[in-house]
Chain A
Amino acid sequence: MTNRQPVIAVIGAGIAGLEAAHQLAALGYKPVLIEKAPVVGGHVAEWNRLFPDMTPAAEVLEPLRARAEGIKTLLNTEISAINRLKDEYNIVLGDGTTLLCQAVLFATGFHLFDASRKEEYGYGIYNRVITNRDLEQWFNTRQDSRIDHPKAVGFVHCVGSRDLKAGNAQCSKVCCITAIKQAIEIKEEFPDAEVYCFYMDLRLFGKKYEDFYIRAQRDYGIHFIRGRVSEVGEAIDGRVVVKAEDTLSGRPVKVTLDLLVLMAGIVCNPDARHYAQQIGVARDEDGFLESRNNLDAITESSRPGVFFAGACTGAKTVPETLAEARSAALAIHLYLSKRA
């Protein structure tokens, strides 16, 4: 241990990385944000509004970005390798330079499941089938020729979630409430449209989520059909025909839609697993990074000096991610104080 200010590599400058870096700087450390994208903000920067209060994503992101202003941030920066030294980590960056650090924080987040892998839903095959992310982009830009005054819109829950065949047994947790948010936004935009949500269960666990669901039912008249979509086909006019079982009545249903939105689930960022492997950090059974334990040490890995914040250990909401970022900063502080 040197008497220099300890350096902490924060991998990923999404909301987890930004918040953790800010907290670490406030605690007197020198965080370095490493981000492969040209901008900070991660997935939240691509989103338009956030559940359950329809808060503009920018309202959450801007203060985080502002507070991280003075922190060393390497954009467009890939990591070539991470080496474990005696009690330090050496990170080799894409441009060949190295960063020696006393702790590593994974804030690597998630990847959206590639919806085209569920071929039966026709993403990438039929024009009118889009994903939750495509819709969010449309809310931002209002530019997508596929969305043109739809009269009937469907949402498919659990695309690549709770799906053993797709290799993801876990629930992505935020898609139910996101589907409800987006369904409401579609209704606000196109009040005459019939909106259908095809679900297996509705998992509305968070604060005010159930209220949001009741509003979707009562104030927006969104139809909830309990049944997993079995197949999607294209009608001659380019609309899509969706088939499912209405499991509550035990009968098959079919409906023709102008737009079908697939709620792509959350999987671990493959880069995170790659880096973790190099320094002996294990991967959990669900494909996410493995915490020292899942109850009281979710932000700690089983390797000294390696910490986690946010969706690298599993699907997380925005408030959960921010809370973990703060918690991880404290865990790093305790770790480095003990060594000093």
Chain B
Amino acid sequence: MDFGFQLSPSSAVNLDTVDRRRYDALVQLEPDALTCIGCGSCSATCTASPWSGMSVRKVLLGLQRGRDGEVDRMLSACMLCGKCSMVCPRGINTRQLILTLCRLDKNGEVVR
């Protein structure tokens, strides 16, 4: 039945139910990922960012907020140039982090 309006799904993140298994598996393999301060240097220098929205900062945040679809879309745009690794003030090897992340499925299992 058409009521002439519809309800939009909530964009709120519920941390009680969010699935962080992929993030937890990532930080097991790459503990430096935990030290991200969200400064955005990686995104600002990213070669792929202007046309794809790729951002390592957003990838790490998305993993912790259960936004797997967005994470995979961003990862597929990465060209592995490694510029992000050069600018990270915490010294996170972001290029390595992306490669490791690509080996994990959304349950956090190593599949590749």
Query: Shortest distance in angstroms between A257's beta carbon and chain B's nearest beta carbon?
Result: 9
A218 touches B35 (CB 8 A): yes
Query: CA of A174 to CA of B93 in the docked complex: distance in angstroms?
Result: 32
What residues of chain B lie closer than 8 Å to A248, measured between beta carbons? 38, 57, 61
The 0/1 profile, CB within 8 Å of B marked 1, for residues 214-235 of chain A is: 1001100101001000000000
A217 cross-chain contacts in B, Cβ below 8 A: 34-36
- A246 in contact with B13 (CB, 8 Å): yes
Closest-CB distance, B68 to chain A (whole angstroms) = 14
Asked whether, in the complex, the Cβ of B13 is within 8 Å of the Cβ of A251, the reply is yes
Residue in A closest to B32 when the chains form the complex, CB atoms: A218
Name the 6 nearest CB pairs between A and B, nearest first. Answer: A255-B15, A252-B12, A253-B13, A218-B34, A217-B34, A217-B35
Do B27 and A253 touch (CB < 8 A)?
A: no
Q: Please judge, given known A-B contacts A249-B13, A251-B13, whether A218 and B61 are in contact too, CB under 8 Å.
A: no
- Contacting A at CB under 8 A, from B32-87, are 32, 34-36, 38, 57-58, 61-62, 64-65, 67
Q: Which of B12, B36, B38 contacts A251 (CB 8 A)?
A: B12
Q: Flag if B61 contacts A253 (CB, 8 Å).
A: no
The secondary-structure label for the interface of chain A is: strand
- B59 to A: closest C-beta gap in Å: 11
Q: Which B residues form the contact surface with A (CB < 8 A)?
A: 11-16, 27, 31-32, 34-36, 38, 57-58, 61-62, 64-65, 67, 90
Q: Compute how far the CA of A249 lies from the CA of B64 in the bound complex, rounded to whole angstroms.
A: 11
A254 part of interface (Cβ distance < 8 Å): yes
Q: Which residues of B contact A127 (CB under 8 A)?
A: none
The docked-state distance in angstroms from the alpha carbon of A253 to that of B11 is: 9
Quote the shortest CB–CB distance from A176 to chain B (angstroms): 13
21 CB contacts below 8 A, A to B, read A152-B16, A218-B31, A221-B27, A221-B34, A223-B64, A246-B65, A248-B57, A249-B13, A251-B11, A251-B13, A252-B11, A253-B12, A253-B13, A253-B14, A253-B15, A253-B65, A254-B12, A254-B14, A254-B16, A255-B14, A255-B16
Least CB distance from B107 to A in Å reads 19
Determine the distance from Cα of A172 to Cα of B27 in the docked complex, in whole angstroms.
Answer: 33
A234–chain B nearest beta-carbon distance, Å:
15
Residues from chain A with Cβ under 8 Å of B61 in the complex:
246, 248-249
Instruction: Enumerate A117-157 residues with CB–CB distance to B below 8 Å.
Output: 152
- The answer to whether A48 has its CB under 8 Å from any CB of chain B is no
Q: How far is the CA of A278 from the CA of B34 in the complex (A)?
A: 53
